[in-house]
A and B are shown apart, each in its own frame.
Chain A
Amino acid sequence: MRETFPLEQKSIYLIREGIIRSKKPAILWSCGKDSTTMLSLIRDAFGGAVPIPVIFIDTGYHMPELLEFRDECVDKWNLNLVIAKAGLEDETAYTPEKNKLDCCYQRKTLAVKLIGSQFDLLILGIRRDEHGVRAKERVFSQRTADWTWDFENQPPELWYNYVLPIDKDAHTRLHPLLHWTELDVWKYLKDKQLPICPLYYAVDGFRFRSLGCKPCTKPIESDADTIDKIIKEVKESRIAERSGRSQDKEDSFAMERLKALGYM
């Protein structure tokens, strides 16, 4: 049996709970290792199919290798891909050079809001060990009609009993990977022989450990050009996973402010 099997079964239970009980569910897929793991778990939950729309947020700053990987997976798994764009009137108004957090909000959060308002449940691949604020999330996390996260008054979540919001303008964020670690995800990708975006593999002494927009994501020094080497590196590394992601580092609470406004 795979080492991650118990984690997978818990995720499958949660994914089914969300999809069966909501009216219009969708998954947010960034093409990264976590949300790709989630696509695979959805396929296992429903006998090989991904029965819900798969939303990709196009910020305009993605790396070409990532977009290529996206299209390969869409073909391979027959995904119902929906590409979401914020539709900025002036593309030059919000750029990472001007203000990183504004850029994140305008190009990512607003794009999710625009498309997400059509759905009552969004499935996201965030994990507790990624970030201190993500560690505070519930599995079924409610967002109000204006998309804010009232994180000081989160409802209780007892065992595996969940209540969906009654307000039809509110929506639920389902986080079925909260209990996974970065290492678990890599072990799973390896054991299931799943497709992996090539940017994760080291080229000329550098690899991406976390994938984001090109201007705001820096590669780490690494010689891990195979999945076994990546697993070994993640196991031994004391460097934070998202240390290459500049929106987290604007200040200690940038993630909290982004999330309160609807960020993932």
Chain B
Amino acid sequence: MAQGIRKNILIAGHVDHGKSTLIGRILKDTNSLNSIQEKEKDLAHITDGFSKERIEAKTIDTTQVFFSHEDNDYCLIDVPGHFEYLRGAITGMTEAGIAIIICDVNEGIKEQTECHLRLTKLVGIKKILVVINKIDTATEEHFEEVRNNFEKLCIDIGYNEQSFSIIPVSALTGLNITTSNLLWFKGPTLLECLKVIEAKEKRATTPAFIVQGAYNNKTAIYILQGTIKPQELFYNATDNYTISIDDFVGENRCGEAKSCPLINITDKEFLVPYLQRGSVWTNFLSQSVIADTVSINTTTVWLSKTPINKEATYRIHSGCQTSLCNIKSIKEVYETNSLHKRIDNYTLAFSNIGNVQFHLEEPLTLTSKYPELSHFIIEDNGEIVGGGIVND
């Protein structure tokens, strides 16, 4: 799904390491606070909108704030650091393209620092900016020590040296946020980093679309890639079938990637004049077929207080596609509530991340070639109990 016209930046990290304060500081120092926000005495209160969050001085649920700086538009996504609010944290993470991982220089890497870094990797965030906070209370040597630990952790989790950078700041006092006012540090400020950081998403080049549904015998589609024009032929591998696009309906006529036109199709054999919800179609001439499957290998995070039941039947949703599913195998499980802990008891409890192989009752088109076809959630009777990405 399109992320919109602004950079969506996640602010994650351990509880009390300064996520909400950093957001307040960025807004203040870029002159982005409105008349009501300006009256807040505590910078963290700007994103902690619930009364309970202020009374208990903690973030309970994720939130988003918008600001502009030097002609760039940003959305900052705050997430809770408490382990019990993981479901809100991961909600915010899936909207981000870039992540700031904030860490208190005096505390170093803690459980939720590592947990959030593992989750940003899981949800597919490609670029990480590690921000070592509260630097007004520490020395350069102290910063170097925490930086070395972070380099090891990032590489251990699967981020290579080009995909992360590490800077010191003080959110509370405003060091190295918009100006280079930290004398010993020669690198960029936080806002300079945000300006240049770009995350490239992985996306196949074959023109393709997925069907969202039908309205008045017309087909509502979402374009995954390429430009789609009338008279072009599209192919669906599940039914081994080809259709031709007649024309676009209404004013929303753009056929570019990540747009949602309504189309008429020509199809001489099907009895219905529209296409099935969830079906994926690729350009006939591209010769590149996306096959459906009844078996997927995934990285899954478990979000229910009830552990995964290997005998149960769940429902998987991926955008417009859905099927019943059950578990074939569980491997390489990480417990995210403690540091560096890999467990091998082959189950998933709340917050655990593991490699899970699912069997699907109906074939679905799930692949890592397009982000939209790789993300999924697991539902159990109306409750979202897990989610993750498909690995090829």
On A, residues with C-beta under 8 Å from B are 1, 3-10, 12-13, 16-17, 20, 43-49, 51, 128-129, 131-133, 135-136, 138, 151-152, 154-163, 165-167, 178-179, 181, 184, 238-241, 243, 252-253, 256
Chain B residues contacting A7 (CB-CB under 8 Å) are 4-5
Bitwise, B181-222 to A at CB < 8 A (1) or not (0) is 000000000000000000000000000000011011010101
How many interface contacts (CB-CB < 8 Å) are there between A and B?
174
Chain B residues contacting A152 (CB-CB under 8 Å) are 50, 52, 60-61
In this assembly, does B289 line the interface, its C-beta being within 8 Å of a C-beta of chain A? no
A13 and B222 within 8 A (CB): yes
Q: Which partner residue on chain A sits nearest B264 by CB separation?
A: A47
In this assembly, does B346 line the interface, its C-beta being within 8 Å of a C-beta of chain A? no
How far, in whole Å, are A181 and B382 apart by their CA atoms in the complex? 31
Known contacts A136-B63, A156-B88: A9-B2 contact under CB 8 Å: yes
A9 and B258 within 8 A (CB): yes
Counting chain B CB atoms within 10 Å of each CB, the highest count among A7, A129, A161, A238 belongs to: A161
Q: Which partner residue on chain B sits nearest A138 by CB separation?
A: B91
B212 and A20 within 8 A (CB): yes
On B, residues with C-beta under 8 Å from A are 1-5, 31, 33-38, 46-52, 60-66, 75, 87-88, 90-91, 94, 123, 212-213, 215-216, 218, 220, 222, 249-252, 254, 258-260, 262, 277, 303, 317-320, 372, 375-377, 379, 381-384, 387
Q: A47-B218, A243-B35 are in contact. List 20 more A-B contacts (CB 8 A).
A: A5-B259, A8-B252, A12-B252, A45-B220, A47-B216, A47-B250, A47-B262, A48-B251, A51-B215, A128-B65, A131-B49, A135-B64, A136-B62, A138-B91, A158-B377, A159-B372, A163-B383, A238-B31, A240-B37, A256-B50
Chain A residues contacting B94 (CB-CB under 8 Å) are 157-159
Chain A residues contacting B5 (CB-CB under 8 Å) are 3-4, 6-7, 184
Counting chain B CB atoms within 10 Å of each CB, the highest count among A1, A45, A243 belongs to: A45
How far, in whole Å, are A217 and B217 apart by their CA atoms in the complex? 44
A133 and B215 within 8 A (CB): no
Counting chain B CB atoms within 10 Å of each CB, the highest count among A13, A159, A241 belongs to: A159
Chain B residues contacting A138 (CB-CB under 8 Å) are 91
B254 and A5 within 8 A (CB): yes
Counting chain A CB atoms within 10 Å of each CB, the highest count among B50, B66, B262 belongs to: B66
A20 and B260 within 8 A (CB): no
B251 and A136 within 8 A (CB): no
Instruction: State how many angstroms separate the Cβ of A215 from the closest Cβ of chain B.
Output: 21
Known contacts A136-B50, A238-B33: A151-B61 contact under CB 8 Å: yes
Instruction: State how many angstroms separate the Cβ of A253 from the closest Cβ of chain B.
Output: 4
Chain B residues contacting A252 (CB-CB under 8 Å) are 51
A166 and B382 within 8 A (CB): yes
A161 and B254 within 8 A (CB): no
How far, in whole Å, are A219 and B267 apart by their CA atoms in the complex? 56
How far, in whole Å, are A49 and B251 apart by their CA atoms in the complex? 11
Chain A residues contacting B318 (CB-CB under 8 Å) are 161
